[in-house]
Structure 1
Amino acid sequence: MTVFHRLNIAAITRETPDAVAITLHVPEQLRSHYHYTPGQHLTLKALIDGQELRRCYSICSSPQDGVLQIGVKAIPEGRFSGFANTHLKSGDSIDVMVPQGQFGYLPRPGTRGNYLAVAAGSGITPLLSIITTTLQQEPESRFTLIYGNRTSRTVMFREALTDLKNRYAQRFQVLYLFSQENGDSPLLNGRIDSEHLVNIGRTLLDYSAFDRAFVCGPESMMDDVHTALEQAGMTADRIFTERFNTSAGGITASATERVATRFVLVQDGAEQEIEMSAEDDSILDAALRQGADLPYACKGGVCATCKCRVLAGEVEMGINYSLEPDQIEAGFILSCQSRPKGDGVVLDFDV
């Protein structure tokens, strides 16, 4: 459901020249709404240059600390990320959707686990939450982080990672890779790619010894991580990924090949009939054009904020990086990546 609340910004901390950590103040009456699990994300909404924009950012804090914090790295021509880095300040307020997302890990006290995290750039954000919370709640577990950046100046949350290393010296280690800065070991010079991962696996880490791996970063990096870990003996069901961007497209048929249809959406128990024209790229776009207030964020098949369930009819879905096979089997789709395959489609957004 689309549930936004206006939250005050308690603090903004400059992490790197192009990245900030934003701490949000959650009033007591909203605490239950913003309970989150490590790895989840928040969708922020703001009016920028007269246009409403929404973007999702991973939570980097630990729920154990009673803090709600996200990391935002400015990207080239990124209107929202640029706004967050240059215009937002402590004391401002912003619309924030309740936490969502399925990526992550819920630590279990008493578990003795050996975990691996692999991040590049701002991909560290959800992993920091997972690592911190796991080390706090599983005192017998260990975590290893492989973290890639351009230089040491671009490392987000360097201070927080150092603090974790100091507090959990026997249970947490970090390997920093820099693509534009040479360190003491040639093994750690360069990008996180198949070659570097294989070499690290041969000399420093036994990938097959890890119980789980959590990966977040650019698409090509995550593909390389999957390949290296599986070749080392880690099964795919132990590798968990979170994408923050994708180069893939959605439904690719041109407008001239599409057929105008009608579908019904159910939201907050009420039904609304939507006319979908050949020009509409997706169910979500058609519904938004006709005034429906549906949940969405990335519009790229990544965050699953726009998911809904097909109650009747058939739907064609393009890319999907967020729904699990059992969810698809149960009839869930991403409305930002889907089009009806004819009339008679009914979609439930109250899920």
Structure 2
Amino acid sequence: MFHPLRVSEVERLTDDAVAVTFAVPPALRETFRHTPGQHVALRRTVAGTEIRRTYSICAPAGAEPVLRVGIRLVDGGEFSTYAFKELAVGDTVDVMEPTGRFVLEPRAGHFAAVVGGSGITPVLSIAATLLAREPAARFCLVRADRSVASTMFLEEVADLKDRFPDRFQLVTVVSREEQQTGLPSGRLDQERLTGLLPALLPVADVDGWFLCGPLGLVAGADRALRGLGVPRGLIHQEIFHVDEATAGGTAIAKSPSTAAARAPEGSTLTATLDGRSGNWPVREGESLLETVLRSRADAPYACKGGVCGTCRAFLVSGEVRMDRNFALEPEETDAGYVLACQSHPATAEVELDFDR
């Protein structure tokens, strides 16, 4: 569900990124109380066309919810261009309630993250909340950016280093300029991470890994960790950007059983949403989300690109083919969850449950 919220602050972070803070009225404090790592979808309508984009909450989770998101300008991005160039204090934006499973509830242990670019946004909330709430927790952050000038949340990360010098470890790598101190410049790929991570911390003793950023960085970090013997269940991923040129060959397409390549003619979809069920014919070429949206405008979605996971649904019966999946963990797909925005029927009848 979306709620109109007033913009209380727009802070310029870099030459291409801003942090936007929304005022949360007392009646909605519980609604917008977030778990560290979650995101919200923002919505605006331009010339009759609805635009939705998902942005992670960068503020720590606290008793009084602070709704602050980081937005990086994307070439041709309709919402990011608006937020960067036009959005001002006092404006109202429709904001969806926090969601997402790239989260860490504060607990004792040793945790680590590998992030690239704006992938720092949810990890900043995770690390800040963890270190403030749990004295027996440690956090190692490995971050990659193009340059120092393009690095988001420099001051906030430096503050964590000052406040928790014995429990917060920071390693910064820039790819397009030389640094006087720290690691040599260059990309953080699988080979480099395979050598770097064991030199930084005892990889086998880390209780949870959080990978966030562009697809190439996340995929490389995942392969490096798996090669170092880290169990799949300890690796959590969130993709922030997927190049269309690489998406087709890298996306994970899964369904509970082998699916046919084309949808059968006359397929029907039964879907349950907010306790109400409906049954609709699936039109040729459309996703199951599009089928639901024809009759239920309240169906949950944000990116429609298989990245954010907002449209996650449980496959009750039937089979589907997913074009792309950059949001669901293997455990979720194994349990029967699919992304409605990427799913097409592979059997004559399919049933989804958005409420599970």
TM-score, structure 2 normalization: 0.89
Cα distance, 1:289–1:115 mapped onto 2, change above 3 Å: same
Q: CA deviation at 1:306?
A: 0.8
Aligned pair 1:307/2:306, yes or no?
Answer: no
Aligned pair 1:106/2:105, yes or no?
Answer: yes
Q: Is the 8 A contact 2:264 2:348 kept in 1?
A: no
Q: Is the 8 A contact 1:256 1:278 kept in 2?
A: no
Which residue pairs with 2:155 in the alignment? 159
Distance 2:334 2:154 in 1: 41
Q: Which amino acid aligns with 2:15?
A: P
Which residue pairs with 2:60 in the alignment? 62
Q: Is the 8 A contact 2:264 2:346 kept in 1?
A: no
Distance 1:200 1:331 in 2: 36
Q: Is the 8 A contact 1:147 1:175 kept in 2?
A: yes
The equivalent position to 2:119 in structure 1, one of 113, 116, 123, is: 123
Cα distance, 1:198–1:317 mapped onto 2, change above 3 Å: closer
Report the more deviating stretch, 129-138 or 210-219.
Answer: 210-219
The equivalent position to 1:27 in structure 2, one of 25, 28, 34, is: 25
Report the more deviating stretch, 263-272 or 117-126.
Answer: 263-272
Q: CA deviation at 1:188?
A: 3.1
Q: Which amino acid aligns with 1:345?
A: V
Report the more deviating stretch, 27-36 or 43-52.
Answer: 43-52
Distance 1:100 1:55 in 2: 13
Q: CA deviation at 1:184?
A: 2.5
Cα distance per residue 1:199-245 (max 9 Å; x no partner)? 42364444334222111011111121122223334332222111123
Cα distance, 1:195–1:311 mapped onto 2, change above 3 Å: closer
Unaligned runs of 5+ in 2: 254-258
Q: CA deviation at 1:318?
A: 3.1
Aligned pair 1:287/2:286, yes or no?
Answer: no
Cα distance per residue 1:288-335 (max 9 Å; x no partner)? 245543110111222221122233433333332333445445433211
Instruction: Give me the identity figure in percent.
Output: 41
Which residue pairs with 2:231 in the alignment? 235
Cα distance, 1:329–1:180 mapped onto 2, change above 3 Å: closer
Q: Is the 8 A contact 1:258 1:278 kept in 2?
A: no
The equivalent position to 1:146 in structure 2, one of 142, 151, 158, is: 142
Which residue pairs with 1:271 in the alignment? 277
Cα distance per residue 1:161-182 (max 9 Å; x no partner)? 1111111111112111111110
Which residue pairs with 2:352 in the alignment? 347
Aligned pair 1:321/2:317, yes or no?
Answer: no
Which residue pairs with 1:337 in the alignment? 342
Aligned pair 1:133/2:100, yes or no?
Answer: no
Cα distance per residue 1:13-50 (max 9 Å; x no partner)? 11111111111111111111112111111011111344
Which residue pairs with 1:13 in the alignment? 11
TM-score, structure 1 normalization: 0.90
Cα distance per residue 1:254-296 (max 9 Å; x no partner)? x99763422222333333332222132x111233245543110
Cα distance, 1:308–1:239 mapped onto 2, change above 3 Å: closer
Cα distance, 1:25–1:182 mapped onto 2, change above 3 Å: same
Report the more deviating stretch, 70-79 or 184-193.
Answer: 184-193
The DSSP-based 3-state class of the residue aligned with 2:21 is strand
Which residue pairs with 1:215 in the alignment? 211
Superposition pairs of residues 85-96 of structure 1, within 5 angstroms = 85-96=84-95
The equivalent position to 1:297 in structure 2, one of 298, 302, 324, is: 302
Distance 1:349 1:215 in 2: 26
Aligned pair 1:177/2:176, yes or no?
Answer: no
Q: Which amino acid aligns with 2:69?
A: I
Unaligned runs of 5+ in 1: none
Cα distance, 1:158–1:311 mapped onto 2, change above 3 Å: same
Distance 2:63 2:21 in 1: 12
Q: Is the 8 A contact 1:208 1:229 kept in 2?
A: no
What is the CA RMSD across the aligned residues, in angstroms?
2.4
Q: Which amino acid aligns with 1:87?
A: E
Cα distance, 1:85–1:316 mapped onto 2, change above 3 Å: same
Q: How many residues get paired? A: 344
Distance 1:204 1:331 in 2: 37
Cα distance, 1:341–1:236 mapped onto 2, change above 3 Å: closer
Cα distance, 1:204–1:333 mapped onto 2, change above 3 Å: closer
Q: Is the 8 A contact 1:188 1:196 kept in 2?
A: no
Distance 2:318 2:263 in 1: 20
